Amino acid sequence: MSLLKINNLKCHYLTDIDTVKAVDGISFEIEEREILGIVGESGSGKTTVALGIMGLLPENTAVSGEILYRNEVISSLPEPEMNRFRWKDIAIVFQNGLEVMNPVLKVGVQVTEPMIKHLDISPEKARSKCADLFRTVGLDPKWMDSYPHQLSGGMRQKVLLAMALSCDPKLLVLDEVTSALDAFTRKEIRDLLVDLQKNGYTMLVISHDITFVSSVASRIAVMYSGKVIETGPVRDILVSPLHPYTRGLVHSTPDIFVYKDLWGIPGDVPSGDEFEGCPFSPRCTQRIDICNKTSPVLVPAGEGREIACHRGGIAGLLAAKNLNFSYRLPDGEYLQAVNNVNLEVMEGEVLAIVGQTGSGKSTLAHILADVIRPECGDVLFMGGNVFGGNYGSRFNGIQIVFQDPFSSTSNRFTVLDAIKEPLYINKIGSNGDRLQMVKSALELVRLPSSDNFLRKYCGELSGGQRQRVALARAMVMEPKLLIADEITSALDVSTSANILRLLKGLQNRRGFAMIYISHDLSLTLKIADRIAVMNSGKIIEIGNSHDVMLSPSDEYTKRLVGSRIGLCCHTH
Amino acid sequence: MVNDRNSFIFRSLSTLLVILVINFFLPRMMPGDPFSTTSADEVGGEIIVMTEEQHLYYVNYYGLDRPLYEQFLSYMKNLMTGNLGRSIYYKMPVSDVIMLHLPWTILIVVSATVVSTISGVVLGTLSAKNRKKGSDRIMMTGMIAFAEIPSFLLGLILLLIFSVYFRLFPLAGAVTPFAHYNGPTDQVLDILYHAFLPVLTLSLSQLTGVYLLTRNTLITVTTKDYIRTARAKGLGEKNVWIRHALRNALLPVVTRTGFMIGIMMGGVVLVENVFSYPGIGMTLRSAVVGRDYPLIQGILLVIAVSILICNLLVDKIYGKLDPRVVI
């Protein structure tokens, strides 16, 4: 029997202007002694769920659905009835704010208050119990006689925790308890919660801090715009998130990707109650027609996981199977440049292929882009075969940007001609349309779109500018997959940093997938979600970029990582 | 701390000095002098017309012909020794005149403060609890409309209705003249009976302020996180409202009460005159009419000092009620 069960709970705030669907039909269960985590961005409705469970929603809230505590419906109880459950059965730990406790009452009084009310004990007994609780949460009982404003944020949070524990509740709801705390206090609270769970507490941990939640909870529900979009065991959610939003959350978490630059999920939650489709669709990189029309429901996805996505989670974009390619050397020997490579690229992901020169990276890239044909094997892009599919000459297809901008763009072309070329060759748009497209592509890569610049010859440009022109030429075709083959290796450090940030920014904003080929490990670590390591034409290791780089399993990868030249002051 | 206290004393003293200067010069800026009044204020009083000689004699006798600064210095000197001077009109020490009338004023001001604060808080709480419902709207509209009536006009209306028309309350005075009381209870009842209408007038004039402040602060306070916390703890509505909401909402009401006493000390002058209530307000009026400089100075000084004391007390009490404030 589950301790708490929530059935299709909806909490809509009715304001004078419109209706805010803070919680829009969510269901979940918490088993006894389980810790369930709810994560999501601010505004996703997490706190509303917590307040809904406590029966503390403001008066202008329309609540439907039911909340069951030990099979008793508590969602529609009148106030005095609800008070039977509050604190004795279900207690909540609020986020520590300056005004979360009564400013004119001593904290000890505020902790003992519910004990006297619910446990029917004398004030003296309550006080001594309060002192015990203070010691449990790691506070000196002498603080009982101070006022809330005299305590630090961390101490206040501990008092709030002690307060919630005062009547030995069965279920603890923790709402953003670590958000405003320093790392040290956060760890203390976490350890405390783990101890409490061993003592038999059931908990609902609500936070946007996915690291904190995953360190205490056994199961996670991801909320977005008032709906649960993914649930599952903590480890699975972190390692292989199914929903693009969950992936975005995980990727925005610095504790998980320590070295990667931070890129939030672009866009905002759709506002207004008119929107019928999947709430994430405006920000989603893999939306299809149905996503704008109906909202997906949560369906089982195996292994105790559930997902709400019309596409069944993050979709595959490109799949390569059994690719082989050999070069014929002058002496008649064959060099196996690509040896039985299998590869998958998901929607919106950045896959880096690393390896030393001659490992076959570029050859692989050229095969994937249909520049050269493999001896055998297939490459599928969005379900269609790349070979003969002409994905390079279509919108939303595959584009490649090469290593050397000086050879990939002609000196004798003007900027306009160079970028317009793919449109011209593929007979896309009228001349006016083409100019417009070129200008917006230039803006994307942060180059001037003035007539003056358009008339410049590529030969007059600097290396960085020329690589941007090459990038703009790829972007003008609005690719779903961009293959960047060593695009920064010909540039100086500062220019390559600028290009890389630009590229990653574009990728994040436009949501295309990217295969980033490089031999620079430090750079890859900054932008890649996954890394594939190539050696002698084979992919020898592939996985989450930080796992591969920080704890490589293959011998070659270890050597590759170890061969980075550190600065004199660093010891690797 | 010590510095704070010193600066507080310094501030109070300088305020007092400014008041003293104004008190001294303001009456003297009025046309006429204590001896040029030719009419008696009370009906049937003797009309005295002084000759020029007599006038000069009196002016000289009271030292009013000396230069102003000399008069001011001697006033200050006397004040240091606690001597407020002699009333020209009453022909007795000013302090005696004030001691005779001040208790009546204190009686009605304090009672009015208590009555208006308690009823304002109770009504404000009711209104806040029924916020946006009919009873709150009606009460609020009524109160605001009511606040616009000046206290002396209100006093006149109450006097006309209750004393003249219904004859429920006396027209004037603080006690029944020449009454014989059968014990102190009777006397107290008689005093309350006479004080009723003045107190009611003063209270009503202050009620709206307290009511509105209580209502609005309570509404603000009930949106605070700590009220949600208290509710979550299942303490029950009564506890939440009294211990958590009202306890916090009353803080500004306390401050206001202090100011209110000051405002009432001004208002009481008018109200006492309407009800012919023998407090210092009435005395002040006759002192002004008679250009009784020492008495005017004395009464204004008492009013000013009592306002200062009230503010001081409020600060102290606030410090006790709100642990966040350090005084």
Return the minimum-mean-pLDDT range out of A56-70, A258-272, A515-529.
A258-272
- Is some CB atom of chain A closer than 8 A to the CB atom of B321? yes
The confidence score (pLDDT) of residue A315 equals 80
Please state, in angstroms and as integers, the Cα–Cα distance from residue B109 to each residue in A73, B105, B198, B201, B259, following that order. 56, 6, 9, 11, 12
- What range defines the domain where residue B109 resides? 94-321
Q: In what order do the strands lie in the sheet with A376-381?
A: A334-346, A316-328, A376-381, A384-385
- Contacts of residue A324, Cβ cutoff 8 Å, sequence gap at least 6: A336, A338, A339, A340, A341, A374, A375, A376, A377
- Quote the CA–CA distance of A518 and A520 in Å, as a whole number: 5
* Residue B35 within a domain: no
- Is some CB atom of chain B closer than 8 A to the CB atom of A92? yes
Please identify among residues 214-233 of chain B the ones whose CB lies closer than 8 Å to any CB of chain A: 224-226, 228-233
Phi, psi of A268 (to 5 degrees): -130, 165
Q: Place A178 in a pLDDT band, splitting at 50, 70 and 90.
A: confident
The confidence score (pLDDT) of residue A125 equals 92
- Three-class SS state of A344: strand
| Shared domain check, A158 and A261 | no
* Residue B47 within a domain: no
| Shared domain check, A117 and A54 | no
| Shared domain check, A421 and A498 | yes
Q: Closest approach of chain B CAs to the CA of A100, in angstroms?
A: 4
Q: Hey, of A102, A105, A118, which one would you mutate to test binding to chain B, going by the most B CBs within 10 A of its CB?
A: A102
| Shared domain check, A190 and A146 | no
Residue B116 has which token pair? 């208006």
**CB-CB under 8 Å, A86 with B233:** yes
- Quote the CA–CA distance of A227 and B132 in Å, as a whole number: 33
| Shared domain check, A539 and A424 | yes
Return the minimum-mean-pLDDT range out of A30-39, A144-153, A480-489, B36-45.
B36-45
* Residue A393 within a domain: yes
Q: Are B113 and B260 in contact (CB under 8 A)?
A: yes
- Is some CB atom of chain B closer than 8 A to the CB atom of A103? yes
Q: Place A563 in a pLDDT band, splitting at 50, 70 and 90.
A: confident
| Shared domain check, A411 and A474 | yes
Supply the CATH number for residue B251's domain. 1.10.3720.10
* Residue A570 within a domain: no
The confidence score (pLDDT) of residue A572 equals 46
pLDDT, tens only, A102-131:
988 899 999 999 999 888 899 999 999 999
* Residue A571 within a domain: no
* Residue B41 within a domain: no
Torsion angle in degrees (nearest 10) through CA of B128, B131, B134, B135: -10
Domain boundary residue among A168, A198, A222? A168
Query: Which of B232, B236, B248 lies nearest to residue A102, judging by beta carbons?
Result: B248
**CB-CB under 8 Å, A117 with B233:** yes
Domain boundary residue among A135, A168, A201? A168
The confidence score (pLDDT) of residue A238 equals 85
| Shared domain check, A394 and A278 | no
The confidence score (pLDDT) of residue A261 equals 62
Angle at A84 between CA A80 and CA A87, to 5 degrees: 120
Give yes or no for residue A458 having a pLDDT over 80.
yes
Q: Are B124 and B214 in contact (CB under 8 A)?
A: yes
Query: Which of B235, B237, B323 lies nearest to residue A113, judging by beta carbons?
Result: B235
Q: Place A135 in a pLDDT band, splitting at 50, 70 and 90.
A: very high
| Shared domain check, A328 and A400 | yes
The confidence score (pLDDT) of residue A72 equals 86
A314 vs A266: which has the higher pLDDT: A314
Q: Give the bridge partners for A232, in sequence order.
A: A220
Give yes or no for residue A571 having a pLDDT over 60.
no
* Residue A26 within a domain: yes
A425-454 average pLDDT score: 85
| Shared domain check, A192 and A65 | yes
Q: Number of folded domains in chain A?
A: 3
CA-nearest residue of chain B to A57? B228
* Residue B54 within a domain: no
**CB-CB under 8 Å, A99 with B226:** yes
Q: Which residues of B touch A82 (CB under 8 A)?
A: 234
Q: Which residues of A touch B232 (CB under 8 A)?
A: 54, 56, 86-87, 91-92, 94
Q: Which residues of B touch A180 (CB under 8 A)?
A: none
Q: Are A491 and A423 in contact (CB under 8 A)?
A: no
- Quote the CA–CA distance of B195 and B42 in Å, as a whole number: 22
| Shared domain check, A387 and A272 | no
| Shared domain check, A97 and A148 | yes
* Residue A192 within a domain: yes
- What range defines the domain where residue A35 resides? 2-89+169-307
The confidence score (pLDDT) of residue B4 equals 65
Q: Closest approach of chain A CAs to the CA of B224, in angstroms?
A: 7
Domain boundary residue among A168, A197, A231? A168
The confidence score (pLDDT) of residue A412 equals 86
What is the residue-averaged pLDDT of chain A?
85
- Report mean pLDDT in 10-residue bins for chain B, 327 residues: 67 85 84 64 55 77 80 85 81 88 90 92 90 86 84 87 83 75 83 88 88 91 89 87 88 85 82 88 87 87 86 83 75
Supply the CATH number for residue A498's domain. 3.40.50.300
| Closest to B200 measured CA to CA, from B107, B112, B110 | B112
| Shared domain check, A250 and A199 | yes
**CB-CB under 8 Å, A163 with B225:** no
Q: Are A167 and A118 in contact (CB under 8 A)?
A: yes
* Residue A569 within a domain: no
Give yes or no for residue A205 having a pLDDT over 80.
yes
pLDDT, tens only, A334-374:
888 888 899 889 888 889 998 888 888 889 988 988 888 88
* Residue A537 within a domain: yes
Q: Place A521 in a pLDDT band, splitting at 50, 70 and 90.
A: confident
- Three-class SS state of B65: coil
* Residue A268 within a domain: yes
Q: Closest approach of chain A CAs to the CA of B236, in angstroms?
A: 7
Q: Number of folded domains in chain B?
A: 1
Q: Which residues of A touch B222 (CB under 8 A)?
A: none
Q: Hey, of B233, B244, B250, B326, which one would you mutate to test binding to chain A, going by the most A CBs within 10 A of its CB?
A: B233
Ranges A240-254, A260-274, A280-294, B194-208, most confident:
B194-208
